[in-house]
Amino acid sequence: MNFAAVLFDLDGTLIDSYRAIAASVNHVRQGRGLPPLTVDEVKRHVGRGPEHLLRHTSPGGDLARDLAAYRAHHPAVLEALTELLPEAARTITRLHGAGLRVGLCSNKPRLFSGKLLEHFGLARCFDVVLGPEDVDRLKPAPDMLQLAVQRLALTPDRVLYVGDMTVDIETARAAGVTAWIVPTGSDARETLAAARPDRLLAGLQEVADGVLKRDV
């Protein structure tokens, strides 16, 4: 496991953004005269891109119009209702400081991902940041990871992908990269274990420890 780069998912992996996402989903629903959903009701649909999110949380409407309403509203809540997960900042800065390449591959729109990395003071640590605008197919298709590997001029065996969902395991396998998973997102630990990632971790602190050859 001589990794040269670590790529991360964002929602549920590095950040808890579910309150922000739920707020924008409920803004869309309010505009259509629908009652609000709880954060937990929204959370289970996060991770497969904004179209999937709105199809499942605000079904039956005009998807293009709902997407536009969601994206117009989201900047108002993006930073205030999003928190870094424990050990996220320390993990990223440790990897960056040790000379590892660090990247982000998320189905979250890249504009929002970039704003959050800037907000939390982590943007300088990232060598590549990719989102759905950059590829033809979203995760679990391998396109985003493959593009990141290409931009970093590496081979898949030198790359680790860290996520929080079965979709991240599927994406890593399709791209031929190693998948380590933290149980801090939309999928339960038992669901993640059944999907058999290369490692199922207790938390993000184990990422830097493992990559930098400390015991996990």
Q: CA–CA separation, 54 vs 64, rounded Å?
A: 10
216 assigned to some structural domain: no
Tell me which of 9, 66, 143, 187 is the catalytic residue: 9
Count of structural domains within the chain: 2
Cα atoms in the Cβ-side hemisphere of radius 13 Å centred on 148: 34
What does pLDDT average to over the chain? Answer: 95
Does residue 9 carry a catalytic annotation?
Answer: yes
Tokens of 113: 């991902």
Examine the domain organization and report whether 72 and 111 are in the same domain.
no
Examine the domain organization and report whether 203 and 157 are in the same domain.
yes
- Which residue, chain included where needed, has tokens 């709105």? 54
Examine the domain organization and report whether 162 and 206 are in the same domain.
yes
Examine the domain organization and report whether 138 and 153 are in the same domain.
yes
- Contact 53/21 with Cβ under 8 angstroms? yes
CATH number for the domain that contains residue 29: 1.10.150
DSSP 142: S
Examine the domain organization and report whether 171 and 104 are in the same domain.
yes
What are 121-179's pLDDT values in tens digits? Answer: 999 999 999 999 999 999 999 999 999 999 999 999 999 999 999 999 999 999 999 99
Q: Which domain holds residue 103?
A: 5-16+83-211
Give the residue from 76, 93, 124 where a domain finishes: 76
Nearest partner of 139 among 113, 114, 174, judged by Cα: 174
Examine the domain organization and report whether 32 and 100 are in the same domain.
no
Q: CA–CA separation, 41 vs 99, rounded Å?
A: 40
Q: CA–CA separation, 13 vs 31, rounded Å?
A: 30
Q: Which residues touch 194 (CB under 8 Å, ≥6 apart)?
A: none
Examine the domain organization and report whether 93 and 66 are in the same domain.
no
Examine the domain organization and report whether 23 and 125 are in the same domain.
no
Q: CA–CA separation, 44 vs 40, rounded Å?
A: 7
Examine the domain organization and report whether 128 and 180 are in the same domain.
yes
Tokens of 77: 């809540």
Examine the domain organization and report whether 96 and 176 are in the same domain.
yes
Examine the domain organization and report whether 12 and 29 are in the same domain.
no
What are 97-121's pLDDT values in tens digits? Answer: 999 999 999 999 999 999 999 999 9
Give the residue from 38, 61, 76 where a domain finishes: 76
**Percentage of residues in the chain with pLDDT exceeding 70?**
98
pLDDT of residue 214: 53
What are 175-202's pLDDT values in tens digits? Answer: 999 999 999 998 999 999 999 999 999 9
CATH number for the domain that contains residue 149: 3.40.50.1000
Examine the domain organization and report whether 134 and 92 are in the same domain.
yes
Q: Please state at what angle helix 143-151 crosses helix 166-175, rounded to 10 degrees.
A: 60
10 assigned to some structural domain: yes
pTM: 0.93
Q: Which residues touch 75 (CB under 8 Å, ≥6 apart)?
A: 112, 115
